[in-house]
């Protein structure tokens, strides 16, 4: 499974289980994120530890997911972003848009 989710109370912990997140997975991931935001005020924590490569289409899916979460007054956090992937967030200034944490615990503590 490319993506998995785990309910932790009101919060959903999503794990991306692929090392290369690109065009082939971006549409599926967008749908997956939408499915995780059926609750009102959804709170999502996305563990990106396994992702070594990410392209603009996948980051677009993350942005679409974030917009959807925010439209429902929810919150979304990204966790454990690898250095190469973080460079992509910095270039697009999305590092200023997303809440980014070094650990799942830290993210959960902040947005729970």
Partner 1 sequence: MALKPERFKLQIPNQINDYKSFIDYCCDFIGDVSDVSKNFAETAKFKLVIMELLTNAMKHSSTCSFIEIEKLTNQLSIRKIDEGNRFSFKDLHTDNKHEFPLDILPGTKVTALLGNNYKLTLLIKDKHLIEFIAPEEIEYKSFADIPEHFGLMIIAQCCDVFHYQFNEKNNQNVFEVIFKY
For partner 1, which is the closer residue by CB, 22 or 105?
Answer: 22
Q: Residue 99, CB half-sphere, CA atoms under 13 Å: how many?
A: 19
In sequence order, what DSSP letters do the residues of 37-52 get, joined into one string? T-SSS-EEEEE-TT--
Would you say how long the chain is, in residues?
Answer: 112
Binding residues (CB under 8 A) for partner 1: these are: 19-20, 22-24, 52-53, 55-57, 59-61, 63-64, 66-67, 70, 83-84, 87-88, 91-94, 97
- Residue 82 CB, nearest approach to partner 1 (Å): 10
Nearer to partner 1, 8 or 23 (CB): 23
Closer to partner 1 by Cβ: residue 27 or 105:
27
């Amino acid at each position: 499974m490319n993506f998995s989710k785990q309910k932790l109370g009101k919060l959903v912990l999503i794990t991306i289980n692929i090392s290369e997140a690109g065009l082939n997975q971006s549409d599926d991931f967008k749908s997956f994120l939408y499915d995780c935001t059926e609750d009102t005020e959804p709170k999502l924590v996305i563990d990106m530890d396994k992702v070594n490569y990410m392209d603009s289409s996948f980051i677009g899916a993350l942005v679409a997911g974030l917009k959807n979460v925010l439209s429902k007054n929810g919150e979304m956090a990204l966790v454990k972003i690898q250095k190469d992937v973080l460079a992509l967030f910095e270039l697009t200034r999305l590092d200023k848009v997303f809440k980014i944490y070094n650990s799942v615990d830290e993210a959960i503590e902040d947005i729970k």
